[in-house]
Structure 1
Amino acid sequence: MDCRVFLPLSLCFLSLFPNFSHSATETQSSVLRLTTGASSAPFDPTRVTQISWHPRAFIYRGFLTHEECDHLINLAKDKLELSMVADNESGKSVMSEVRTSTGMFLSKAQDDIVAGIEARIAAWTFLPVENGEAMQVLRYELGQKYEPHFDYFHDKVNLELGGHRIATVLMYLSDVKRGGETVFPDSEQAKESQPKDDNWSDCAKMGYAVKPNEGDALLFFSLHTNATPDPLSLHGSCPVIEGEKWSATKWIHVRSFEEKEENPENGDCVDRNVNCPQWAAAGECEGNPIYMVGTEDAAGFCRKSCKVCSSK
């Protein structure tokens, strides 16, 4: 069976040749470079390791440089708000004890570094840049967590723009002294194949887990190859026991996530996310104006709720 039906070309190659290795010179020459508007993004398939087939999950060691991690943290640290979850019935964002981190959304291609990371994600996943949501930067402090959940949707509202989230790329921006692991409680990867000592949290021992190491990225798919939801993609962020955890998440949809409302009543005076009214009420128009309002080059996602244009 042709593995390209199931995997990006680079991962297909590695699955066919699991013992493939490079010398340092060969590895450097194998790196794929994609050029976006102003920056060049390297992608090296030899750094990718499959960790699970059910769900499909992969680790990329050293996906981000130390400088890139610091840059994302610096963009976000003064704009953090309490994280929310999507209500299963209405699709709107609501506060919940299930998720206790703080976070904020960057703007797509906010600067050259962000654009370069987004291009690298597209190269890795073979999914178009336009299918991705804006990157979300998160901070988990002592005891903060995200209970096991799915990244695909249960409501019709969120499915209207972009459809289901097919894949998630979770980038770790800092090391965590203890706790903060990403855990897949229902992964069919045998727990016995990942023995855990006291350096793992009790939460991580409940399934197959990934430790947050600065610069690494975790890619997992929330849908099967036939585009139906994969219940084995259930995942959570274990409580931080010591230190703090910074991460950046890129959710990728089956369709473009940049579709605008057809025939809007008043030009670009529209909201492009169902959560815009709640975000505006929480002060995000002032706290995160690039994403909410936009710039001279690109309109924001919540111009109507931010009242930056006249409406009929």
Structure 2
Amino acid sequence: MPPAMKILSGLLTLVTVGMIIGAFLQLAFIHKLESESYSGSGVIHFENDRESETLRLGYVKPEIVSWSPRIIVLHNFLSMEECDYLRAIALPRLQESTVVDVRTGKGVKSDVRTSSGMFLNHEERKYPMITAIEKRISVFAQIPIENGELIQVLRYEKNQFYKPHHDYFADTFNLKRGGQRIATMLMYLSDNVEGGETYFPMAGSEDCSCGGKTMKGISVKPTKGDAVLFWSMGLDGQSDPNSVHGGCEVLSGEKWSATKWMRQKAAS
């Protein structure tokens, strides 16, 4: 093997190992949160403990599904009440979804993304239930609250989808507002959906189901209350091309989700 190829191979190995270590640290932190919510008798203590209630300690169950890209499914991340609350806020204000124009940084309509959605505003961010959700996201992702963008709520109806894409930016306009996106928390708000999986084509080579089709990669079925936490940036500080992901076509029912993108620094 030529020397240049050996160096490249070594660097790629280091990055992969770094991502695995990062996922281990993340999981260890989450398990530490979980264990601290139990007494010696194994009984969860929530009485007069608002912090445990806010973080849903004892309910949230992490599952690492990929080391590279780093993907963790957080089962029971939201309560049923929180899911219904987000849907109720969003429903009257849903509009056709857009994608970011890399030349201008502005949202434009595209056949890449067929859904409807809306963003919570800064005033709604102060609502107690929204504040609790945002704090939970910050703690489990280990990213400051102020680095998070406003939550976006989306609805995918039958035959709607979002083609594979990256959450990190390719334009300079958006980088001025908090730097690069480093991680995403995708929360599912509805059940009884056929299709609509979140699909990571570069995460593994096994078969998975995506909108009724068999594909290579990993897919996560939308289950009400669950969340998917994944990183668009590796531990080397570079955008991770393997973090490409998409929303598979919905075959029946409605898929509702809420997305929180997190930046390198405080997002405006």
Q: Distance in 2 between matches of 1:25 and 1:60?
A: 25
2:224 alignment partner AA: E
Which is further off, 203-212 or 127-136?
A: 203-212
Of 79, 83, 105 in structure 2, the residue corresponding to residue 69 of structure 1 is 83
Corresponding residue SS for 2:56: strand
- Structure with the largest fraction of helix: 2
- Asked if residue 235 in structure 1 is aligned to residue 245 in structure 2, the reply is yes
How far off is 1:181 after superposition?
Answer: 0.3
Q: Which runs of 5+ in 2 are unaligned?
A: 1-16, 33-37
Match of 1:168 in 2: 184
**TM, length-normalised to structure 1:** 0.70
- Asked if residue 213 in structure 1 is aligned to residue 223 in structure 2, the reply is yes
Match of 2:74 in 1: 60
CA contact (8 A) 2:188 2:222 kept: yes
Q: Which runs of 5+ in 1 are unaligned?
A: 17-21, 259-312
Distance 1:250 1:127, change over 3 A: same
Distance 1:25 1:155, change over 3 A: farther
| Cα deviation 1:160-216 (Å, max 9, x = unaligned) | 0111110000000001431100000111x2315x6x5xxx63446342100000000
Distance 1:3 1:86, change over 3 A: closer
Distance 1:178 1:45, change over 3 A: closer
Corresponding residue SS for 2:131: helix
Match of 2:170 in 1: 154
How far off is 1:89 after superposition?
Answer: 2.1
Q: Distance in 1 between matches of 2:214 and 2:206?
A: 10
**TM, length-normalised to structure 2:** 0.81
- Asked if residue 118 in structure 1 is aligned to residue 134 in structure 2, the reply is yes
- Asked if residue 185 in structure 1 is aligned to residue 195 in structure 2, the reply is no
Of 95, 99, 119 in structure 2, the residue corresponding to residue 81 of structure 1 is 95
Q: Distance in 2 between matches of 1:24 and 1:68?
A: 30
Of 227, 238, 263 in structure 2, the residue corresponding to residue 253 of structure 1 is 263
User: Number of residue pairs matched?
Assistant: 243
Distance 1:105 1:170, change over 3 A: same
Q: Distance in 1 between matches of 2:91 and 2:101?
A: 26
Match of 2:113 in 1: 99
Q: Distance in 2 between matches of 1:145 and 1:13?
A: 34
Of 235, 250, 267 in structure 2, the residue corresponding to residue 225 of structure 1 is 235
Overall identity of the aligned pairs, in %: 42
Give the CA RMSD over aligned residues: 3.0
CA contact (8 A) 2:70 2:231 kept: yes
| Cα deviation 1:13-38 (Å, max 9, x = unaligned) | 5799xxxxx899637259xx775xxx
How far off is 1:2 after superposition?
Answer: 9.6
CA contact (8 A) 1:168 1:251 kept: yes
Q: Distance in 2 between matches of 1:116 and 1:159?
A: 27
1:77 alignment partner AA: L
Q: Distance in 2 between matches of 1:142 and 1:8?
A: 37
Q: Distance in 1 between matches of 2:238 and 2:84?
A: 37
| Cα deviation 1:39-84 (Å, max 9, x = unaligned) | 9443458611100011000001100111110000000001001100
Q: Distance in 1 between matches of 2:218 and 2:58?
A: 25
Distance 1:45 1:224, change over 3 A: farther
CA contact (8 A) 1:132 1:256 kept: yes
1:224 alignment partner AA: G
Q: Distance in 1 between matches of 2:259 and 2:105?
A: 19
Q: Distance in 2 between matches of 1:3 and 1:45?
A: 26
Of 147, 163, 166 in structure 2, the residue corresponding to residue 131 of structure 1 is 147
Distance 1:134 1:8, change over 3 A: farther
Corresponding residue SS for 1:96: coil
